[in-house]
A and B are shown apart, each in its own frame.
Chain A
Amino acid sequence: MSYFRKIGVVVVFSLLATACGGGDGDGGTPESGQPAVNQELRVGAGEDQYVREGTSANLGVQPVNANIAETLTYLSPTYEVRPLLAERWEFRAPNTWRFFLRPNVKFHDGQPLNAQAVKTTLFDRVAQQRGGGTIKAGPNSAVVVDDLTIDFTPTAPNYRVPEQVVHPSNVVYAPGSDAGNRPVGTGPFRFVEYQPKERLVVERNPDYWGTKAKLSRITFRFFPEANARRLALEAGDVDVAFGISGPDVKGLRSRGFEVATSPVGSYQAMYANIRGGPPHDLLQDPAIRLAINLGIDRKQLVEGVLEGQATADQTMIPPDALGRYKSKINGFPFDQARARTTLDNAGWRPGPDGIREKNGRKLTLQLISGFGGAEVHKPVPAYLQSQLRNIGIGIDIVERPDSASYQSLIDSGSGDLFLERGSQNDANVGFLPTLLFYTGGSGASAQYTKLFAPGPRFDQILAPAVTEPDADKTQSIVADAMHQLIDVDMVVIPLAGLFQIYGLKKNVQGFTPHPSLISLRWDNVSLGSNR
């Protein structure tokens, strides 16, 4: 072997040995409790999806909330509504909400927070959106009572306003500020710099009305690709990474990183197309829907497939949002024997290939996976396919690469089971069932109700939630409606309750994982030493 070849082999093997060596994780040694001198945090966020123009401009607000602008009320990690820019609020019959603003609050540019600013930059802004947004704002809905008091009367009866204004789409900006390019708010951080698709930088607001932030600066870096985001954390390029997937948790912990999981804030479920025409009319039979519910081992799904990074909740709406009424929803046990008996009694007999048949028709269903992209759901569809095969139901998995093409199948009704993930991003507990399944009002998604609306009994149970001013009673009504939807009509087949999973370096302190990513707060976060 020539001299140069020998050198080359040695170099290659040296590099491989170094690379494959069990390198130290860069999670840092356990923090000493002493704050680091450098309080600049780097966050690995998902894709940059800010809108930059129009009434929906939302730079620094959502989906990545940099705490530049604030809302009147705040959604706690346990789905309670807490005061924020509004100290308190009261309902004035028949349909007016009066908000009492916090005094001595200034915007980053020095303008005072007052009722006129709230009217102009929140209610009048939202009123320009079709339907007035979820709060149903109209051009004359907001009335300034005095400098720190404002009345808001939605254009239609809306008893959920305080629970809805927690959503970052309802932030208050400084009058005259440019929400799409240089947002100015009242938050603990103020805008510094934005490089589209690369990063957003904010710095501490020294005049913040509340507890001053400990961090001096936060740089949010946008990583569309989840693996690259996690690797950036491992390489030490970021201190916090959003959207860690369940299978990556163990590996991160073993390499010295912290993993913070929020309370359940999202769900994964299948929606059954109960209104489809042939060949997608099989799920009109409740026996099949019951068998599917009984045939899935949710515990194994959570512990095995999702590696413990989920719960086997069958409430769809996060349990914390339902409060003490979550027990009204029973869900289904894992009982494949009973599932088979149910199908036998309904006339579905096993065929030669194990898939049941009835009157010459095979019990094969199309499972559509693609909400948010098919990759997000893997390998759950394959798991469901194997589980349901055990009870004689064939599953054809149809994957769609993105939400838009998934939506086209919803529009055309081309599918039997639709696999989705949903999040609860405000405190309006009736929001999701009203949007997706309720036909009694105008705020529903027509595409969804066309396939999945359970019918008059569900509408009848849910209807009072729309006009019930008491939040506790609303929770109870919605829980009853969800019981009807999940346990009785079985239109929704819940699979798991999902957490938000965040990866952190060990020296990141004070981070409170929030189930709603868009409500995450950074004012308590700091960096310990030993970065």
Chain B
Amino acid sequence: MRNYVLRRLLLFVPTLIGMSILTFGVSNLTPGDPAFAFASRLANRPATADEVAEARKDLGLEGGLVPRYFRWAGRAAQGDLGISFSTRLPVRPELVQRARYTLQLAIPAAVLSVLIAIPVGVISAVRRGRFSDQVLRIVTLAGASVPSFWLALMLIVVVAVKLSWVPSAGRGGAVSYILPVLTLSAAPAAVLARFTRSALLETMTSDYVVTARAKGAREAVVVGRHALRNALVPLVTAIGTSFAALIGGAAVVETVFVWPGVGRLLVEAIGQRDYPVIAGVVLYSGAVFAVMSLVVDLLYAVIDPRIRLADEQ
């Protein structure tokens, strides 16, 4: 297990290097001059050629793409992600702070989505073909299809404006979490519920489930201990991916609810051509997915003792 984990951790390095090269290259090739964007924003009008030249020097944009990448990569390897073009502050502390804010939404949203998805998926599978199953399938389809932007605004209109139950946006007390967490959890809950239903339907036709029923086990035991347990393996993968996406930041939800998380940071950075921030956020997201993927793989072995990790075989 330890060797397996170490090997996987070592694999992070080339993965992150590859992602950084891709990000650096693509963001530098997108239309729009960050020096012009920065200088114009400062001046509050289109910048003059002199101002753009000054900004290019200030932002370290002189020189070719390759030397600039290696300069950045060398510093990034030491934990220095550079200086934001827009705020002129170091990227790493801001990224850490924003990631914390994102986690404040992502963790409750992930927990809520699982708490909703598994019971809904189980009910839907157990009552397959009945009215409740059809209703739940329609609801989960809607949940998976509805754009988060629309859902966010509708929740604000109904719950905050019309009913005045919660604030419309912004970080504050516990009530300020309600709308953004609901919005964030809707799509993952819907997708996971459908996934749970499918996985459970598959395991419920297995021989061991038939045997358990034949031996007189109660239906709750058949579903809970036998069928659901074996459906957990693919479900954990889906939960892990969903959680990683949430931690990566949901730009739309964070923008509408004025939540200063990583997703919003990325959108702002792209609009301002803030290359150091873009690269930093992408590295962060890549690391999150890589770690989550490792955690999911380790959980497999816990859930299903038949699964052995590579070095244990």
Contacts and interface: CB of A to CB of B under 8 A. Distances in A.
B162 interface: yes
Closest 6 CB pairs of A and B: A404-B32, A130-B54, A408-B31, A53-B88, A197-B260, A235-B168
Contact of A231 (B42, B44, B168): B168
Interface string B275-311: 0000000000000000000000000000000000000
B164 to A, nearest CB: 7
A445 to B, nearest CB: 5
A422 B46 CA distance: 10
B73 interface: no
A505 to B, nearest CB: 14
Interface in B24-58: 30-34, 36-37, 40-51, 53-55, 58
B268 interface: yes
Nearest to B152: A228
Interface in B106-128: none
Contact of B257 (A47, A228, A407): A228
Given A63-B44, A221-B170, A404-B36, 20 more contacts: A19-B162, A19-B163, A21-B162, A47-B268, A52-B89, A129-B54, A167-B44, A228-B156, A228-B168, A231-B168, A232-B170, A235-B161, A235-B168, A237-B168, A403-B40, A404-B272, A406-B32, A407-B33, A408-B32, A447-B36
A406 B36 CA distance: 11
Contact of B87 (A20, A51, A62, A445): A51
A499 B221 CA distance: 68
A301 B35 CA distance: 35
A91 B162 CA distance: 58
Interface stretch (A105-113, A316-324, A340-348, A435-443): A435-443
A297 interface: no
A11 to B, nearest CB: 14
B162 A130 contact: no
A420 B169 CA distance: 31
A60 to B, nearest CB: 14
Nearest to B46: A445
A518 B44 CA distance: 10
A446 interface: yes
Contacts of B94: 196
Contacts of A223: 169, 258
Contact of A403 (B37, B153, B258): B37
B88 A231 contact: no
Contacts of A225: 255-256
A404 B46 contact: no
B271 A49 contact: no
B160 A231 contact: yes
